[in-house]
Each structure stands twice: as C-alpha cells, then as structure tokens.
Amino acid sequence: MSATAPIAIIGTGIAGLSAAQALHAAGQEVELFDKSRGSGGRMSSKRSDAGSLDLGAQYFTARDRRFVEVVQQWQARGWVAEWTPSLYHCNDGLLSASPDEQVRWVGIPRMSAITRAMLGALPVHFSCHITEVFRGEQHWTLQDAEGQSHGPFSHVVVAAPAPQASALLAAAPKLAAAAASVAMEPTWAVALAFDSPLASQVEGCFVQDNPLDWLARNRSKPGRDTALDTWVLHASSSWSKQHLDLSKEAVIEHLHGAFAELIGCAVPAPAFSLAHRWLYARPASAHQWGVLADANLGLYACGDWCLSGRVEGAWLSGQEAARRLLEHL
C-alpha cells in the first residue's frame, strides 16, 4: 500500500538517507529537509584551501551482515574504498605501531560522497531548519525557521541528533522524553596542513590520556588529492567539554601543541589550519532502541543515538525506521 501523501524526512545524514532509500525502494514518495547547505551531517566533508577534509566521521567499520552487504554495493559503485592506514596508538605519551586486521571504509574522494550518492535525485530542501512538526486531523505539517509551512505529509521521520530531535517530537511526548534523555558529547576537530610532509610513519592514531583522542593523515586515504600534508585531529570528549567555548584560534593552538608533543618529529607552523566544533558528536552511551516510533501517529525518530553511535548504527537505525513505517501502512 502507498501512503496518502509524501513522507517527510528531517535530516540528510546517513540515518535519514538510509530511511529515505528504503522507503523510496518500497515505492513511497519521500521529501527531505536539512538545515545545512548539503547532505552528510556528521559524515560531511569541508572544502578548504587544503582540499576536501573529513572533519567528522573518519572511517567506518561494517559488522552487521546487512550493512556489510550494502557497503559491498557502495564499493562496487565506486562510492567507498578500503582505508589501510599505518595505525598507531599513543598511551601515556608513548607512541607505538598498532596494526590490526579490521577492515575500515571511507567515502571517495571524500566522506560526503556516500550521502551525496544516496540522495541521488530525491527531492530535498537544504538550508531549511525545521522548528516545528505538528499534526492536523489526518496529516503532518512542518514549519521552518523562516516561518514557511511544508506539507501535507502522511508520516514524519526525524533523523537528527537526539537533542535536536526531541524538540521535533513534541507531538509524541514519550518519544520526545526518550530523545531528551540521550546526552550527546561534543568533539573539537582541527585540521593542520603542512607544506612539506612530516617525517612520521603515522597515518592514523588512537590516543589515550591526552587532549587528543584521534589523528588521521588525510593523504593516506584513497582518492584524496592534495599537495599538502594535512592532518585531522580530534580532541577527546572531556577536553572538548571543558573547552567548549574556547575560540577556534585557541583550540588550534592547544591541539597543535598536543600533536607536536606526541607525533615524535619536528612539526613546523602549519600552512593552513581550521577548527570545527561538533556540539552533538556522539551519544554518551549506546542504546538498543533501533528506532523510536509512534506508529499510530505516524511519527518516527532514528539516528546513531538509537543504536551504536557510529555510522553503521545510524544506517541500521534508518533501515529500522523505514521497516517499522512500512509495516504500518
């Protein structure tokens, strides 16, 4: 059976697009909304003087059989490739090689290539911040920050981070309360680009007991094309929380210092640097909800915070939202 009006999906991160693709494949009409200028959310990439940079998700792993299968399809279509960095870890300031067998995937030539390809020609409104979701007698209407109304819609799928989702779930107080109970932690991300390659073997590094918790060398990822040696540094959740309102310049200075201390080679002043603050980077703890649903109302919420807080969890949650919605048509 087909819904009586299009299905609205708020959020064009991997969760929203996973739901959109599954619903579209089942013959449903979908319409997507995102407050940003493009798709991807926390998998988006920033264009910069140092080329495209993945400032959010760095890579992803696939453990669930359904996700493994879809990633294989993405690989066959040229959307993703395996990333096999020379991996290190740094504990108590001690840097050591830390090779493993884990398969890690990245979008090519940038992380955002995946969501962009998933979106395809589906109808989407970018730069459209939805502020209210309300239900009339039969249908849903969305209101955006410019005061414009969108609708009617038969169902609404909210695919935004939990704190942003809870405000949009007011029509179903139980769902809104569940979303509001999910704490999400911030991450400061910094990119540093050097004119000459640093004399280091490190291409990816898990860090503990440090302001940093991760570093990645952009040029080691497949399909990245830049003359500069660019690194993406992520601060730990606790450092990010403590320095939430620091200026970008000060964050760059701090994290550049921490990087120079741990990398074990000379680190000159970068030719280019930028900082980005992810306010809702990751859920403080994982959940096993899959999706939050009020099937009678036709309101659904999905996203990484409903599962593992990773790309895979977000994709699976979007699939689950679509499955539950289709079940009730």
Residues that bind ligand FAD (CB under 6 A): 10-16, 33-36, 41-43, 56-60, 129-130, 159-161, 164, 187, 189, 234, 278, 281-282, 303-304, 309-311, 314
Tokens 């979908």 label which residue? Answer: 30
The nearer residue to ligand FAD, 212 or 311, going by C-beta atoms, is 311
Q: Closer CB to ligand NAI, residue 83 or residue 289?
A: 83
Interaction pattern, residues 226-255, with ligand NAI; x per rule: CB under 6 A: --------x---------------------
The binder of ligand NAI chosen from 206, 246, 272, 323 (CB under 6 A): 206
241 is in an annotated binding site: no
Confirm or deny that 59 is annotated as ligand binding: yes
User: In the bound complex, what is the minimum distance in angstroms from residue 62's beta carbon to ligand NAI?
Assistant: 8
- Report the partner that residue 116 touches, choosing among ligand FAD, ligand NAI, none (CB closer than 5 to 8 A by kind): none
How many other CB atoms are there within 10 angstroms of residue 146's CB atom?
9
The CA radius of gyration of the chain, in Å to the nearest whole number, is: 20
98 annotated as belonging to a binding site for a ligand: yes
Q: Which does 98 bind (CB under 5 to 8 A by kind): ligand NAI, ligand FAD, none?
A: ligand NAI
Within 10 A of 77 (CB to CB), how many other CB atoms are there?
A: 9
Q: How far is residue 258's CA from residue 260's CA, in Å, rounded to a whole number?
A: 6
How far lies 140's CA from each of 15, 17, 205, 322, in Å? Answer: 21, 20, 46, 17
Region binding ligand NAI by CB under 6 A among candidate stretches 46-54, 96-104, 113-121, 133-141: 96-104
Contact 92, 119 (CB under 8 A): no
Q: What does residue 177 show for φ and ψ, rounded to 5 degrees?
A: -70, -40
Of 17-25, 94-102, 119-127, 253-261, the segment contacting ligand NAI by CB under 6 A is 94-102
Closer Cβ to ligand NAI, 233 or 293, answer by number? 233
For residue 294, say whether it is annotated as part of any ligand binding site: no
Residues touching ligand NAI, count (CB under 6 A): 14
Q: Nearest distance from residue 89's CB to ligand NAI, in Å? A: 4
Between 270 and 309, CB nearer to ligand FAD: 309
Rounded Cα distance between 313 and 301, Å, is 13
Question: Checking phi first, is residue 27 left (phi over 0); if not, alpha (psi -120 to 50) or beta?
Answer: left
The residue among 222 and 264 lying less far from ligand FAD, judged by its C-beta, is 222
Which H/E stretch holds residue 177?
A: helix 173-180
28 is in an annotated binding site: no
> Is 63 one of the annotated binding-site residues?
yes
Site string for ligand NAI, 17-56 (x = CB under 6 A): ----------------------------------------
Give burial (CB, 10 Å; 0-12/13-18/19+) of 326: middle
Alpha helices in 50-124 (DSSP H): 65-76, 113-119
**Sign, Cα dihedral of 309, 211, 90, 193:** positive
Q: Which helix (H) or strand (E) holds 22?
A: helix 14-25
Please indicate if the annotation marks 164 as binding a ligand: no
Q: Is 114 annotated as a binding residue?
A: no
Q: Does 35 show up as a binding residue in the annotation?
A: yes
DSSP codes of every residue in 242-278: HTTTS-HHHHHHHHHHHHHHHH-S-----SEEEEEEE
Residue 101 interacts with ligand NAI (CB under 6 A): yes or no: no
Q: Cα dihedral sign for 315, 317, 318, 324? A: positive
The annotation places the binding site for substrate at: 59-63, 98-100, 187, 310
Q: Which residues bind ligand NAI (CB under 6 A)?
A: 60-61, 87, 89, 98, 100, 102, 187, 206, 234, 281-282, 309-310
